[in-house]
């Protein structure tokens, strides 16, 4: 396994005081908390931070880690020397008792045997019904079309399991889940009993799947509503027109009123994501200019300039 440089992860240097470590950790924890951060590897980073903090904030563990660490660089292939913690006593009370599956192999090899069991899941115990298995959370990515029609998604979950020797292994399983039509970004589907098995005959935990939409190349989704920036030719906006507009439910003909300006929103009620009260579809008009770099285009533009008395900056007083 790899050596983990806990100081590098939390950022203060090896001589940092306990206060400095605490401060640095809290700042980074806020930054990378998976519910707050949108960064791709926020969850992994947060876990790593938590582990580093667990070791460095505990004076016993920190001392043991320091003694061992002076010769190692992060990422190097590592094996703890047999008597590395000789002379250190780890009082059981200091250990936070978090779920051992949440820690890296590196941490496990140094401190794992100090664990005093317990499935508290997240660090810092919480009130928990003793027998119920842990809930699992996963994200499932779907396309906008899937929300319109419903679909079935196959997802692979990795869950920690304790084997007969008391080691933690990861156990993979694949589930086929029905995604109903009309789902919204961020909604959850709850699959009862698909989480971790219960302890001592207790009920299994639940599986929560959070819906996330793959960003679409031109539709924007907000709740149940769908927005589309609709480019128009200048004459279509000025004179009005009937234009073809794509919607997730199919192409439609949309009547553009004359004298339309850029930014105007045309609402198609009920053509958003289907639901008990379906969302709406909004076409936001954007006027696109034909390029002026052919002779013909130049002539036409200059004709417009000469024949139409048009000052777009009149309201600015210039």
Exposure b/e, 17-44, CB count within 10 A at least 16 = b = eeeebbebbeebeeebeeeeeeeeebee
Choice between 152 and 315, CB closer to another protein: 152
| Residue placing its CB nearer to another protein in the complex, 162 or 192 | 192
CB of 195 to another protein, least distance (A): 11
Structure tokens at 294: 């052919």
Nearer to another protein among residue 13 and residue 35 (C-beta): 35
User: From the CB of 209, what's the least distance to another protein, in Å?
Assistant: 7
In 3D space, the residue among 146, 94, 85, 84 whose CA is nearest the CA of residue 115 turns out to be: 94
Closest listed residue to residue 282, CA positions, set 297, 301, 263: 263
Across the chain, the runs of DSSP E, i.e. the strands, are 136-142, 151-162, 168-179, 188-191, 207-213, 219-222, 225-232, 241-247, 250-256, 265-268, 281-287
Could you count the other beta carbons within 10 Å of the beta carbon of residue 180? 12
Of the pair 112, 121, the CB lying nearest another protein is at 121
Least distance from another protein to the Cβ atom of residue 66, Å:
26
Shortest Å distance, C-beta 67 to another protein: 30
In 3D space, the residue among 177, 91, 190, 78 whose CA is nearest the CA of residue 137 turns out to be 190
Question: Which of 177/245 has CB closer to another protein?
Answer: 177
CB of 295 to another protein, least distance (A): 25
C-beta of 26 vs 303, nearer to another protein: 26
Q: Which is nearer to another protein, 3 or 25 (CB)?
A: 25
Residue matched to tokens 């016993």? 60
User: What's the closest the beta carbon of residue 227 comes to another protein, in angstroms?
Assistant: 7
Label each residue of 163-222 as H, E or C. CCCCCEEEEEEEEEEEECCCCCCCCEEEECCCCCCCCCCCCCCCEEEEEEECCCCCEEEE
Any idea which residue has 């889940």 for tokens?
A: 177
CA distances from 313 to 160, 309, 310, 317, 318 (A): 65, 12, 9, 7, 6
Where along the sequence are the contacts to another protein (CB under 8 A)?
A: 26, 29-30, 33-36, 38, 46, 50, 122-124, 126-129, 132, 135, 152, 173-178, 180, 182-184, 186-192, 194, 206-210, 215, 220-222, 227, 229, 275-276, 286, 288
CB 226 within 8 A of CB 243: no
Least separation in angstroms between residue 88's CB and another protein is 28
Residue 104 or 109 having the CB closest to another protein: 104
Closest to another protein by CB, 220 vs 264, is 220
Beta carbon of residue 13, minimum distance to another protein (angstroms, whole number):
24
- d(CA 19, CA 42) in angstroms, rounded, equals 24
Left (φ > 0), alpha (ψ -120 to 50) or beta: where does 198 sit?
beta
Q: Closest distance between another protein and the C-beta of residue 164, in Å?
A: 24
């Amino acid at each position: 396994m790899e050596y983990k440089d806990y100081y590098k992860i939390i950022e203060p240097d090896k001589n940092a005081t306990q206060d400095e470590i605490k401060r640095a950790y809290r700042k980074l924890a806020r930054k990378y908390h998976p519910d707050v951060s949108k960064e791709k590897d926020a969850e992994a980073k947060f876990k790593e931070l938590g582990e580093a903090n667990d070791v460095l904030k505990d004076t016993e563990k920190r001392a043991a880690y320091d003694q061992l660490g002076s010769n190692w660089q992060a990422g190097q292939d590592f094996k703890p020397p047999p008597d590395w913690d000789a002379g250190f006593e780890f009082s059981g009370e200091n250990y936070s008792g978090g779920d051992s599956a949440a820690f890296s192999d590196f941490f496990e090899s140094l401190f794992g045997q100090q664990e005093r069991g317990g499935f508290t899941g997240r660090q810092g115990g919480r009130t928990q019904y003793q027998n119920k298995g842990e809930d699992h959370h996963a994200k499932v990515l779907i396309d906008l079309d899937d929300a319109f029609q419903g679909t079935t998604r196959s997802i692979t979950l990795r869950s920690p399991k304790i084997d007969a020797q008391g080691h933690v292994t990861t156990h993979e399983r694949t589930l086929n889940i029905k995604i109903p039509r009309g789902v919204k970004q961020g909604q959850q589907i709850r699959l009862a009993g698909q989480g971790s098995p219960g302890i001592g005959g207790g009920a299994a935990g639940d599986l929560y799947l959070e819906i996330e939409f793959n960003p679409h190349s031109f539709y924007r989704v907000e709740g149940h509503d769908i927005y589309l920036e609709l480019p128009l030719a200048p004459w279509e906006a000025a004179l009005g027109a009937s234009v073809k507009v794509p919607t997730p439910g199919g192409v439609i003909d949309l009547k553009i009123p004359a004298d339309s300006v850029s930014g105007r929103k045309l609402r198609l009620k009920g053509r958003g994501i289907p639901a008990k009260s379906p969302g709406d579809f909004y076409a936001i008009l954007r006027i696109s200019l034909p390029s002026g770099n052919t002779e013909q285009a130049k002539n036409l533009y200059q004709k417009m300039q000469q024949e139409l008395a048009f000052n777009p900056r009149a309201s600015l007083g210039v």
